[in-house]
Amino acid sequence: MNQKQQIGKVASSLLEEQDVIFIDSGTTACQIIPFMNEDMHMTVITHSALAFEMLEGKKNVKVILLGGEYREKVKSFFFDVSALHYNFTKSFISTYGLSLENGLTNMDNFEGMVKNHVIHSSKEVIVLADDTKFSRVSYNCFAPIDSMNVVVTNKLPNKRYMNYFNENDILIRVP
């Protein structure tokens, strides 16, 4: 099992009956889907073509695809973020970088707007990031680091991150 699959498996264990979740467009976020409990009823909202495809045939999952202009490079749909009026029990967010100084960053302004809006509409924000994402920074900051409630990663980060997470009640989950 590769790192993304390990992260997806751990993240899927956070799902609960009747959750309304957002699955981000990143490939790591989509790795939750193969590990979803088939008996659990939930609603999944996504703008990811990959997530939509992977959710096909999940019998107890209501799927809402946020459509619009398809963007092949990131395999997601571009839509008017201001029209997004959902409340999520959990959001599963991918990130290019996670930095104590610069927060959560990515390389696409639209994807950043979607992530930011979803984070503000979520009861629990779960960031999925393999160990290479820690201390990595890109130009587009979509949220401060303290906006997340849980980090799912493949191995524990350094002591500086662990101290920050402990001091700010951010849970960390590893395989």
DSSP 84-125: ----EEEEEEE-SEEETTTEEEES-HHHHHHHHHHHHTEEEE
Distance, in Å, from the CA atom of 72 to the CA atom of 16, rounded to the nearest integer, reads: 32
* H-helix segments, the chain: 3-12, 27-30, 49-55, 109-120, 159-167
Distance, in Å, from the CA atom of 133 to the CA atom of 161, rounded to the nearest integer, reads: 12
Report which DSSP code applies to 155: S
Residue 154's φ and ψ, nearest 5 degrees, are -85, -20
Average pLDDT of the chain, as a whole number: 95
pLDDT at 164: 98
Residue 70's φ and ψ, nearest 5 degrees, are -75, 130
Distance, in Å, from the CA atom of 97 to the CA atom of 115, rounded to the nearest integer, reads: 13
Tens digit of each residue's pLDDT (9 = 90 or more) over 101-154: 999 999 999 999 999 999 999 999 999 999 999 999 999 999 999 999 999 999
Q: What is the pTM of this model?
A: 0.95
Backbone angle region of 81, left / alpha / beta, with phi > 0 → left and psi within -120 to 50 → alpha: alpha
pLDDT at 91 over 80: yes
pLDDT at 80 over 90: no
pLDDT at 1 over 90: no
Q: What mean pLDDT do residues 62-81 have?
A: 85
Percent of the chain with pLDDT over 70: 100
Distance, in Å, from the CA atom of 65 to the CA atom of 47, rounded to the nearest integer, reads: 6
| 74 band by pLDDT with thresholds 50, 70 and 90 | confident
| 99 band by pLDDT with thresholds 50, 70 and 90 | very high
pLDDT at 76: 86
Residue 173's φ and ψ, nearest 5 degrees, are -125, 130
Residue 38's φ and ψ, nearest 5 degrees, are -65, -20
- Structure-token pair, residue 160: 């500086």
